[in-house]
Amino acid sequence: MAVRSCLALWTLAVLSVPAFASNSAWNGMTTPESTKITAFTPYYVPPGAKSYDSTSPLLHYQGTWTESFSSAYVQTSLRTTSEENSAMTFSFTGTGIEWFGNTDNRHGVATVYMDGKMVQEVDLYSAKALKQQRVFWSFNLPQGRHTVKFVNSGKKNQKSKGTRMDVDALVVTLGTPTALSPLGPLAQNLQPSGSVAQWTLVQNGTTGVNAMQLAVISETHALMMDKVEHNPLSISGHPAWGALYNLKTNAVTPLNVQSNSFCAGGTFLSNGTMINVGGNPVVEDSTSAADFGDVDGLQAVRIFEPCDSENVGNCDIYENHARIRMASPRWYNTVMRLQDGSAMIIGGSLKGGWINNSTTNNPTIEFWPPKNIHGSNGMPIHLPFLVDTLSSNLFPITFLLPDGTVFMAANQDAMIYNWETNTEQRLPGIPNGVRVTYPMTGTGLLLPLSPANGYTPEILLCGGSTVDDSQAGYDISSQAPASAQCSRMVLTDDGIAAGWAVEQMPAARTMPDAVLLPDGRVLIVNGAGSGISGYGNVRGQVGASNADNPVLTPVLYDPAAPAGARFSSAGMPSSDIPRMYHSVATLTPSGRVMIAGSNPNLDRSEVRYGTEYRVEWLSPPYMSAERPAIVSAQKKIGFGEKVKMQVRLPSTAGAVVLMDLGYVTHAVHANSRMVYLETAPPAGGGGNTETLDVTGPPNALVYPPGPAFMYVVVNGVPSEGVKVMVGDGKGPKVDDGAWQK
Ligand SMILES: *[C@@H]1O[C@H](CO)[C@@H](O)[C@H](O)[C@H]1NC(C)=O
Ligand SMILES: *[C@@H]1O[C@H](CO)[C@@H](O)[C@H](O)[C@H]1NC(C)=O
Ligand SMILES: *[C@@H]1O[C@H](CO)[C@@H](O)[C@H](O)[C@H]1NC(C)=O
Ligand SMILES: CC(=O)N[C@H]1CO[C@H](CO)[C@@H](O)[C@@H]1O
């Protein structure tokens, strides 16, 4: 009997996979507001995980237990004990376990043992009676056989009237199929000792929420935003969908996000405050995400004030939906900082969907704080480019150029937008029919700006797809080959006349991430060799993924090398973790590259390609070289201001670079930027502390005012980055009239 009920539940979990797929992602699953918010029920069985009911014969009970029945319990049954030392023991094979049961004011304290070791005391008391609560969880166990034991400690908290402890169900995380072995020597590309420094890749830390959006906020932390889903990390009694990641200790701190941040964009403003804008409405679907109590995020402006200390306990997201919101709904918008320190918010859909079309398109820009410009009085300004680039035009690739205009690429097209005159200058189309924006996702960068090249802007676009974007989703295949093309153009009159120069990456990629390194080279990681972005739409989905054939080896691109000799994967380790849709990568202050995410799923899943929480750290060879150091530097650097920095250099020649590490999501590295500063290097070198004269960027067009990381680089070896504010640190001008709109 009991065995059958367990099997029945397992079958149910398996059956729900095709059901998710037929929901075609978030299509149509969007209601303007949540209509029936109920008490949050944390019980959730990710596709590919296994649930064991309290009646399963695999659960061994010792002592005195009673059984009760209610439709409110998983499989209608629950086991309860109030007796000290009564226990439940369960052995399983996997990487994680969750324990679900009731909590109320008659519950006591349980002691949990994992593989014979006491790991946690769990207080099961709650003032309100709640069912199917996740009372204990552990997600990062080594793959293999484990035994968990819950013991009634006989203790209780003072408010409680009893010492109850229940078992309703257990959910075992099996571990993604690709997670069978942790990264070993294979992936580390070990060289015989004594050889030159090599790239290394190690897996360390887990993100707790899917790292769909990632931005380094300080020397010690990165901020991650996700969509509302059943993540391992919890806050206020429900799973979190935003968190801070400690880059040094790998500790994760959940954030209290109110609205659904799927799929928002973000930027820092000139005063260091970050905004995260747009998203999705409350989603009501087969995973009951509506129960999370989130609110509609389509017009949300989420504010994250500067948080520079390593103790991030008091840092959180601020939302006030009545007062602080965008003028129009945006799902999949790009956000970019301008020379006046404000944010330009670009494009997106009016509601969640998949491939954009004229019904759902939001072909406009708006500003934060709102501006009264071109007669808009804070309302959206029409951008014809975003109409002409339908359908595959979400998350446009944009960069502020050193003349104050904005480069923009969407679908197969590119233009320069002058936001001060509201005029578009169309550029040559991207060659060979390659589409570069969602869901035919490529990536783009503004190559380093330097006094030596007169701050001449040059754009690099890589990857994407030539798949026809007018086809119905079910006619596109997950096996359709991605593009290997990189296109590069200098944005001067001559450069535009010469057009795009085309190069081929060693491997085709959709959804790649391009990361500027402080040595001026570009690292291209993540992505898939076939298919397109999103989940639950195409023919031949893998699990729910619209893409397949993960590309597991990063490639380095040297923009300064002669054409034909720019790409190299020599000595580059390969990963065994696919990084598909909703993956990210960023340079960190230490100089390492953080790689995280991958979640082509409606909700947490363990079916390939499952929801990936593991973080990888890619270390360029410079990490093990003798490194220069910034001993001390001013926290603020003005435009054209001459400042003195204390540095330690192994040899004399040294460059100082200012970097915006970007706001990374959906292969868009918004604001990513690298600017060489004018320096007067000291004569010394040889490891003594000495003074370096550095001049701030010439103006706000070359580096828009706001936070940056400064690295000193000697012979291609960078120091650790220190955070500086560029400009006067003041906030962008607030136009009261436009704000009241
Ligand atoms: C993982 O990171 C922690 C915290 O920095 C460190 O103590 C530990 O040694 C690291 N483990 C590996 C395998 O690198
Ligand atoms: C946009 O999508 C909607 C919903 O699928 C459809 O009814 C409409 O015809 C589409 N519009 C265009 C221009 O493709
Ligand atoms: C920065 O400016 C924005 C927009 O005016 C404002 O909301 C925010 O509170 C400011 N942050 C700080 C730290 O002053
Ligand atoms: C082709 C496509 O994906 N169209 C979608 C556009 O968005 C609307 C609204 O969500 C969907 O209903 C369409 O299916």
**Residue to mutate, 268, 271, 340, ligand 3, most ligand atoms under 8 Å from C-beta:** 271
The pLDDT of residue 300 is above 60:
yes
124 and 263: one domain?
no
**Domain C-terminal end among 603, 624, 645:** 624
> Could you identify the atom of ligand 2 that is nearest to the CA of residue 360?
1
> Could you identify the atom of ligand 4 that is nearest to the CA of residue 353?
10
* Domain harbouring 675, CATH code: 2.60.40.10
499 and 578: one domain?
yes
Query: Does the residue 720 lie in any domain?
Result: yes
Per-residue model confidence (pLDDT) at position 30: 34
CA gap 476, 598 in Å, rounded: 21
Of the listed ranges 265-279, 283-297, 471-485, 655-669, the least confidently predicted one is 283-297
Say if ligand 2 is within 6 A of residue 309 CB: no
Of the listed ranges 43-47, 81-85, 632-636, the least confidently predicted one is 43-47
**Domain C-terminal end among 173, 207, 234:** 173
Query: Does the residue 19 lie in any domain?
Result: no
Task: Say if CB 584 and CB 664 are below 8 A apart.
Answer: yes
Say if ligand 3 is within 6 A of residue 269 CB: yes
**Residue to mutate, 183, 203, 204, ligand 1, most ligand atoms under 8 Å from C-beta:** 204
Per-residue model confidence (pLDDT) at position 714: 93
Task: Say if CB 148 and CB 141 are below 8 A apart.
Answer: no
332 and 472: one domain?
yes
Say if ligand 2 is within 6 A of residue 471 CB: no
Task: Say if CB 407 and CB 414 are below 8 A apart.
Answer: yes
Task: Give the chain's radius of gyration (CA, Å).
Answer: 26
For the chain, the domain total comes to 3
CA of 618 to the centre of ligand 3 (A): 34
CB atoms inside a 10 Å sphere around CB 201: 23
Query: Does the residue 33 lie in any domain?
Result: no
Using one digit for the tens of pLDDT, what is the confidence trace for 328-372?
999 999 999 999 999 999 999 998 888 888 999 999 999 999 999
Using one digit for the tens of pLDDT, what is the confidence trace for 517-543?
999 999 999 999 999 999 999 999 999
Question: Which residue minimizes the CA distance to atom 10 of ligand 4?
Answer: 353
Among candidate residues 134, 127, 123, 167, the one with its CA nearest the CA of residue 41:
134
Per-residue model confidence (pLDDT) at position 294: 78
**Residue to mutate, 249, 250, 594, 618, ligand 1, most ligand atoms under 8 Å from C-beta:** 250
Q: Which residues constitute the domain of residue 162?
A: 49-173
The H or E element that residue 677 is part of is strand 673-680
* Domain harbouring 110, CATH code: 2.60.120.260
> Could you identify the atom of ligand 2 that is nearest to the CA of residue 358?
13
* Domain harbouring 422, CATH code: 2.130.10.80
293 and 428: one domain?
yes
CA gap 355, 216 in Å, rounded: 29
Cα separation values, 712 from 135, 645, 680, 692, 717, Å: 48, 10, 12, 10, 8
Using one digit for the tens of pLDDT, what is the confidence trace for 236-279?
878 899 999 999 999 999 999 998 898 899 999 999 999 999 98
Query: Does the residue 167 lie in any domain?
Result: yes
Phi, psi of 6 (to 5 degrees): -65, -45
Using one digit for the tens of pLDDT, what is the confidence trace for 139-158?
989 999 999 999 999 999 99
Per-residue tokens: 98: 């969750």
Say if ligand 2 is within 6 A of residue 320 CB: no
Among candidate residues 719, 618, 720, 625, the one with its CA nearest the CA of residue 199:
618
What is the average pLDDT score of the chain?
90
